[in-house]
Chains A and B, each alone.
Chain A
Amino acid sequence: MSKRQKTSLMRIIITAAMFFPLLVAEHMGRMDSMPRWAMLIIFLIPYVIIGYDVVKKAFINISHGQVFDENFLMMVATFGALAVSEYSEAVAVMLFYQVGELFQSYAVDKSRQSISAMMDMVPEYANLETEEGLAEVDPDDVEIGSIVVIKPGEKVPLDGVVIEGESMLDTSALTGESVPRRIKEGEEIFSGCINGNGTLRVRTSKEFDDSTVARILELVENAGDKKARVENFITRFAKYYTPIVTLSALALAVIGPVVTIISQSSVKAQALSTVAASLAASGEIKNIISNWLLRACTFLVVSCPCALVISVPLGFFGGIGAASKKGILVKGSNYLELVSKVDTVVFDKTGTLTKGEFKVKRIIADTKAMKDLKTVGSSADDVELAILDIAAHAESYSTHPIAMSIIEAYRERTGERSEALLDSSRVENAHEDAGHGVDVRVDGRMVTIGNGKHLEKHGIKYEPCDENGTIVYVAIDDIYAGAIVISDTVKDGVKDAITGMKQAGVTRCVMLTGDRRPAAEYTARDLNIDDYYSDLLPQDKVIKVEELLTKEQEGRYLAFVGDGINDAPVLARADVGFAMGSMGSDAAIEAADIVLMDDDLGKIASVISISRRTMGIVKQNIVFAISVKILVLVLSAFGFANMWAAVFADVGVAVLAILNSMRTLKN
């Protein structure tokens, strides 16, 4: 508890200790004989103790031109109660208002703390290697390329590359994954992880502000800036609610007595002036006016929208916190709101559903063609090697994963480890047709290598191969010579993740891929994916997602899941963009709306259920708070609800709503 909260608590205790005996005495009739002024003074003492700052703030704010704030409303309401001799009500309103305020500030502090505890991964220092030995410095002061030492149990202060040592890393603060990860020399290390039992020497690759931990914290802190639609609704509601209730209170105070007098005159069938005169003579008019004044004051007590204004953002804050505990970064409350209504999830295949690790599975050689082309030895194996040799050289300039896998296979077959494996002097005039294939001269022969479309474009006849995987066709001097089958492996747990999403309410899973139809169909069926679009070039994916977006029903949303490496435009275009396996990838963190720090697709189902739960809690609060307030307003307008009910509608509802919101923090 902060110092301010403690002072406030003391004031509440003192006031309560003074006030309750007075309240009991009043109810037992012990004070009936007391003159009004004496009662006023007795009750003013606790009133001043508990309410002086509210009254002070009200005046300061009026002098700044801020009317209609809660301090002002509380002041008017309690002054009104004092004026109509409802002394205990005046003190009670102030007392409970302060209790509510204290509770609010305590609850907010609490959730703030539990989130920062969750995000307890900020390194306090770095062990910088200097000429004079190790120095403990602020991570902020470490320059790129410096060498830091991470001792067992310490937090990794900055992103970098391990240059010495081996250890197990606890990445749970970043990824939510509790199984430690092995790290050794030459591997990348990210700030925010906790070192296990080995000592590591790391060459830093980023400044602290750009390092993983700083970026994540910034994301979570800024998440509150992107407001959800319900939050904006509450802001608008609060803007109109308070003035409307205040004006109604004024109307009640003025029109109420007039209405009572008119109705009495019609009941007694007397002239208005006669009734007014007789009421004034009997002193009855004073009772009528104070009765209505009290109702007006009751209105003012209910007029603060605090319960909503605080509990709704708090709910989202908690939901975002709960997600980040699991290694899911939600970049704004609005995305949490959208995710709760996602019914279509679109996946990029490579790197998302599959590992993106391509391997040559089979080489098919057209032996006859190869013989005619006179490029071969005698055995079948040699024909395969010859195809691989040509393909590897043809692809030698490409960095495409498919090309890399061919070169890798060639390396394995020849057993050659050296860098000088490929003889670049054999290759000339390479021309790449992105997404299709390569035309190149190898050993002076025209090699056309690529997918079926690429060969068709050159008018080359080939034997279509329908094996599962990516097929690279090879033609030499415009004659089909063979094909290489390359396949990718499905990631672990993808099937379960898709089942989980379906259970969480996703109705349709769609896969986008550059693969040919048979391969795409095979993967889709294997993973229980409802729909797939094959033979797509990178730019086609945006078009496909746009097409799917137009098919979405009103109020339903589409999510796209990618690895964030080359699908940034698609991530941006979808209602919600998920990037996965993003630890350390700036581009992915930048482009996505929701970032999964590790590779686990199962987290999509988790975030959907967290968002549903959060939205549920937020909606409960809105409905509960608004309906209680309206109920109390209506009842008090007709004189059925007293100020105690109003205090409940204000403070009680706020406290309950906050307690409810804090549930979002829990899983």
Chain B
Amino acid sequence: MSVLDILEIILTFGAIIVLTPLLGKYMANVFEGKITIFNKIENLIYRILGIDAHEEMTWVDYTLNILVFNLIGFLFVLTILMFQGRLPFNPQHFAGLSFPLAFNVATSFVTNTNWQSYGGESTMSYFSQMIALGTQNFLSAATAITVLLALVRGLSRKSVPEREAKTLGNFWKDLTRSTLFILIPLSIILALILVKQGTIQNFSSYVHATTIEGKDQLLPGGPAASQIAIKQLGTNGGGFFNVNSAHPFENPTPLTNWLSLLSIILIPAALTYTYGLMIGAKKQGWAIFAAMMIMLMVGTFVIMKSDLGVNMMEGKETRIGIINSSMWTGWTSAASNGSVNAMISSQAPIAGGVAMLNIMLGEIIFGGVGCGLYGMILFVILTVFLSGLMVGRSPEYLGKKIESREIKMIILAILAPSTCILLGSALGVSTKIGLSSLSHQGPHGLSEILYAFTSAAGNNGSALAGLNANTNFYNYLLGFTMIIGRFAVLIPVMAIAGSMVTKKSSPPSFGTLATDNAIFVVLLIGVVVIVGALTFLPALSLGPIVEQFLMNKGILF
């Protein structure tokens, strides 16, 4: 590792630390409606659409709206994909997708997973990419932000004895503000820089070229930059092209690589600061940020160290190099993004193992836009609860009591995705149909299947891409896993928001556990790691861990 490499790493982590409070403050202003001109714009939109976006919603109303809105999105994407052959902007005349594949892609993009069991440039028309997939890139990210905002209000709104708070805000308003004033402006900036650097943005048919040695070469086209910008910023990760951000048309230069990498973590990181501001205690936000950052750094450095140990450029791009590939794998798995700039399957076994663990912990190391933070808040509450048990005091967070209903919901939200990962993988490795998709023998084969279910349950979308996932078996099974991974967390979070908002808040007393200091950060990391490790260590040992040991001994498969 050279001095320049170290400087590049510091610059990358440093940029996130610097940008977090800046973007965080802006987002808080947007969510709280403090920017007058934005209020005028959104009110105009609500008037035109004829909806009442100022009416407060209870948790049941709010959740119902989320579900209906996402169901509409799902049916819309499904329809477009199946009939893309008859729709415009399809210069390569791609046929409509089969139902199992369309089902998989639709769930994948609605749940912010963006798992791809198809090759972009050989399957999807420009119309499908823009109208179906591009739109969901925005809306799935915005949906998660609305859930986070509902939870924040649940925790911060004060209930008083004479007037119990019941409502959590308005779903449409939160959705509009997140999309219109945060995701779209950031995407426009990033997309234009990407194009300047060489990412393509056109509607042309694929171009025929005659190479210097006289061969025919077919150069792909398409509105890539606009889609790639939101794929990174919205922690979606679904590439325009098959090889995702390894493709020179997606990620042409070291600068686009760096900016894309920052965009993966940017909003999830900044939201911790927004959270601190909105609950009126900045330190609470920083404590969560610190816990996430420490876990991100440890994971990323383990990946980097193991990749440098293997020292192979297979599956990596020259302009990007090993270190930037390792860093990307660490960040994209932690942040529920799932885009890749190098093939994880060709990285060191332990690198793939850390990526899997990052996802298995619940996508809470920054995690997806919105969902990373609401997932982490569940762990914060769990930590407070466990600490309360240890010292024998009734647990409370931000002055509100934590009771059995909340803990039950948290357990549900943690167990549901974990169960899907383990049961799904078990089904994959114990059936002929599951095993027939493998491209590797030995422990790497187990890793391929385990990674697939982990990625789906964590709504991540990256893959050990040797696995041929475009089969009915995987398309359906992973599709259902994605749905459970998304909604079996989202609904419990909304239920917690709904019960927390009605609780009276009391000022901190002598016995209250502080949740904004270093001790709490350590406790929180401890709880996250213990819960994750207890659940997944056996599976990881049989996959990436044993593979690394065998490889170090020179055993090949």
| A is bound by B | no
Interface residues of chain A, those whose CB is within 8 Å of chain B, are none
